Amino acid sequence: MRQVMKLIPAVAVSSLLAACGSSSSSSSSPSAAASQPSGNAGTVVVKTAAVSSLGASVLVDAQGLTLYHLSGEQSGKWICTSAVCVKAWHPLAAPAGGAPSGSVGSLGTVKRPGGATQVTFHGMPLYSFVGDTKPGEAKGEGIKDVGVWTAVTANAAAAKPAAPATPAPSSSGGGGYGY
Determine the pLDDT at residue 141.
97
Determine the pLDDT at residue 45.
92
What average pLDDT does this structure show over 64-77?
92
Determine the pLDDT at residue 42.
59
Distance of CA 113 to the CA centre of its chain: 16
Determine the pLDDT at residue 32.
34
Domain coordinates of the chain in residue numbers?
26-155
* 3-class secondary structure per residue, 70-138: ECCCCCCCCCCCCHHHHHHEEEEEECCCCEEEECCCCEEEEECCCCCEEEEECCEECEEECCCCCCCCC
CA distance 144 to 165: 8
Q: Which of 11-15, 64-68, 112-116, 132-136 shows the lowest per-residue confidence on average (mean pLDDT)?
A: 11-15
SS3 68: strand
Determine the pLDDT at residue 17.
42
Q: With left for phi above 0 and alpha for psi between -120 and 50, is residue 39 left, alpha or beta?
A: left
SS3 162: coil
For the stretch 88-104, pLDDT in tens is 999 999 988 788 988 88
Average pLDDT, the chain: 73
